[in-house]
Structure 1
Amino acid sequence: MSRLTLLLLAALLALVPWFPATADEARPLAEDPAVEARLLRIAEEVRCLVCQNESLAASQADLANDLRREIRAQIRQGKTDAQIMDFLVGRYGDFVRYRPPFNATTLLLWAGPFVALALGLAGLLRFLRRRQSAAPVPLTEDEQRRAAALLDGTD
């Protein structure tokens, strides 16, 4: 490196303490660790409605933050985990649960993969059986002569 480059680099490093930090302050945990632990236990069982593939505990979406605040408020009101889950299901449906209950409305959700697998295997077996049972059709004499001529190279 040239002397000028080293001088510029040293000057930049000297100015770094004067630049304001861009990182946010870490948010403190809830005042009550028991409330926070219960919130995390409930939030792990609830799907983030924005992300859909993350739990409410892992999501940083605005709606997830709002739902966590709502769950904290309900915990402080003395509601049980079941009452809180019933509130969320009543508001957002069974979709909000990572493990929805087995009932008539979620039957396809629970049985669908097994039905699709069974139908796929049945289709595969049917295809293989048809393929095996199809006897080759013998060539006519004219077709045999043409094939032999093509193989010999005499058209």
Structure 2
Amino acid sequence: MTARRRVRSSADSPGSSPKRTPGAGETFPAWRPTSSEPATGSMRCASTAPFARRIRRPRYDSGGMSPESADWVPVARLVDLGARDRALVHVNGTEIALFRVGERIYAIHNRCPHRSGPLVRGFLEDGPAIRCPMHGWRYALTTGESDRPARATVYPVRVEGDEISVRL
């Protein structure tokens, strides 16, 4: 008669339970893809097409104003921004970061396209550009172009008197 030697596993340690499969009424753990490759094929369903067309409508009623002036939204005053200052404004649920570089004012979507870092807290650089405080991606304030494969949304800015307006 030969003796069997038992191999000790981490499940044998005190306080741990052995691994098992879910039983009746239990759920499996969340599925995680095993590959980092992007999925191929179209994810658009034919039944959603009518809804997509129905959703596309003006963001807000212009109140009879011309289309040229309807999109301009006053967001701040010049006295709110110093010579090299910044401000965060909210317009129709969108966060917009305002930057004043000398006499020019720039408006850019506040969230970095990479990891949604707050660009208003970024590092202002010559160019003019803003560097994301989370991962260091650089975005041109004039075009939104980046040194990486991403592009931030920039908004045209108009200054009339002391009022700063952004065109959405």
Larger Rg: 1
User: TM-score when scaled to structure 1?
Assistant: 0.22
More helix by share: 1
Q: Whose strand proportion is higher, 1 or 2?
A: 2
With structure 2 as the length reference, what TM-score do the two structures score? Answer: 0.21
